[in-house]
Amino acid sequence: MKIAIPVEETNGLESRICEHFGKAPYFAIITVKGEEAKIDFYENPALQGHRPGLLPEMLHSLGVEKLIAKGVGVRAEAFFNQLGIEVIKGVMAETVGEALEELLKGTLTGNPNYEPEDKHEGECEHHEH
């Protein structure tokens, strides 16, 4: 199983999940095989210039099956659904490790109505663009 999580930095399992999927500086791509998990980080190409569907296509090309995020727009979610990628949005976990642990235990839940508190800012909480 391959999982994508938008993150603020590349700090392994301690990487903080970004409030805004499309504005995340990086994506953690976690490959889970049995009891083992491997994490790779990819820079967000949409920060250089965005077009609708760019990130869903990129993550799909990497073999991602699930997206775990806080805030995801309706349009992006539709692109993911078209590509067969399950979106779990509105998660309360703060780090990649927390989200991964909850997912593997079967306790990860999201809130489909989640909207970031600073949704009009359009930036990650701890990242300057």
Count of CB atoms within 10 A of residue 48's CB? 7
Cα atoms found within 13 Å of the Cα of residue 68, Cβ hemisphere only: 27
Helix locations, the chain, DSSP H: 54-61, 74-82, 96-105
Count of CB atoms within 10 A of residue 95's CB? 19
How would you class 35 by CB atoms within 10 Å of its CB: exposed for 0-12, middle for 13-18, buried for 19 or more?
exposed
* 128 domain-assigned: no
Per-residue confidence (pLDDT) for residue 117, from 0 to 100: 62
Model confidence pLDDT, tens digit, residues 71-112: 898 888 999 999 999 999 999 999 999 999 999 999 998 887
CB 21 within 8 A of CB 70: yes
- What CATH number is given to the structural domain containing 32? 3.30.420.130
* 37 domain-assigned: yes
pTM of the model: 0.87
Question: Has residue 119 got a pLDDT over 80?
Answer: no
Question: Has residue 128 got a pLDDT over 80?
Answer: no
Per-residue confidence (pLDDT) for residue 46, from 0 to 100: 86
For the ranges 16-20, 66-70, 111-115, which has the lowest average pLDDT?
Answer: 111-115
**Total domain count, the chain:** 1
* 110 domain-assigned: no
The boundaries of the domain holding residue 83 are 2-105
Per-residue confidence at 47, pLDDT binned at 50, 70, 90? confident
* 94 domain-assigned: yes
